[in-house]
Amino acid sequence: MDDVIVLGAGVIGLTCAVRLLEGGARVRVVTADEPARTVSRLAAAVWYPTRTEADPRVLAWAHETYDELMAQAAAGAPGVAPRPTRMIVRSPAGAPWWSPAVPDFAAHPGEWRFTVPSVEMPVYLPWLADRVRELGGTVTAARVGALTELGGRAATLVNATGLAARVLAGDAAVFPARGQVVGVANPGLVTSVRDEEHPDGMTYVHPRSRDVVLGGTFQPDDWNEAPDLATTEAILRRCAELVPELAGARPLWEAAGLRPARHGGPRVEADPVALPGGTRLVHAYGHGGAGVTLSWGCAAEVARIAQTGH
């Protein structure tokens, strides 16, 4: 019998599996979709606690993840790199609640500047899955209709099912937050630029090694996963206004996905009720657009809960 089954192979599930394996647990990841087909693959994945409320636990997770990703970048992990960032500030504000996690955060007139890790998910997710296997874990494809199906099959079940937790955990606080992004050729950009308060919608420009991810939208309770042409054109227009080098850029690709958001913030805790067979249930879902940003910190907490029970 496995020590731990991790249900879900997005960035939260895979980082939890890695931390559990590093702690000596026997781990099996069970996933309906292979990592490269999870919604995590669509994340622009520049460290930033998008639409996440201030909370000491969240800050601790974000800080630990920042440090881990920067260490991975220094070690040459695939797709991970430091990214200089400019955040346009449209209303008077002091330093944001998350700034203690970012060593070089600096406020300037009309903008914040800082360096954060960025992650190219199409290469990072397979690397995480390989890391699970290298540490002795397994990744199994299976679709689970209820958490109780896995009761008795491991000492602990980690529920990292993202949006599916709405049904599997019976959590009505979970909701989709639709995001649409556009990829264009990179004209030589190295700095990420954000304008979260743009009057026409959140706007961001995130350079990667071979393209630039442009966004975006945050549409609560919208289940549509098909890209919308009018939205694509609006994103291109806003991003070109923000970064003039993008004027005339045309899409290389377009995508829309459903962020696994949750009213009240991420749920990372042991369930007070065990599954059949005495399997301890640990939840790790509801990260919305901040899954990458909180991943390694949450994974460390999940590993601690799995070991101590609380």
CA distance 11 to 230: 30
Long-range CB contact pairs, 227-230, < 8 A, 24+ = 227/180, 227/254, 227/255, 227/256, 228/180, 228/256
CB 69 within 8 A of CB 119: yes
Q: What is the reported pLDDT for 181? A: 97
CB 69 within 8 A of CB 141: no
CA distance 165 to 264: 14
For the entire predicted model, the pTM comes to 0.96
Task: Quickly state the pLDDT bin for 79 (edges 50, 70, 90).
Answer: very high
CA distance 293 to 45: 8
Q: What is the reported pLDDT for 94? A: 84
What is the tens place of the pLDDT at every residue in 168-187?
Answer: 999 999 999 999 999 999 99
Gyration radius of the chain's alpha carbons: 19
Res 37 pLDDT > 90: no
> Please, what is the average pLDDT of the chain?
96
Residue 120's beta-bridge partner residues? none
What is the tens place of the pLDDT at every residue in 251-295?
Answer: 999 999 999 999 999 999 999 999 999 999 999 999 999 999 999
Question: Quick one: 2-308 is in which CATH superfamily?
Answer: NAD(P)-binding Rossmann-like Domain (3.40.50.720)
CA distance 57 to 245: 39
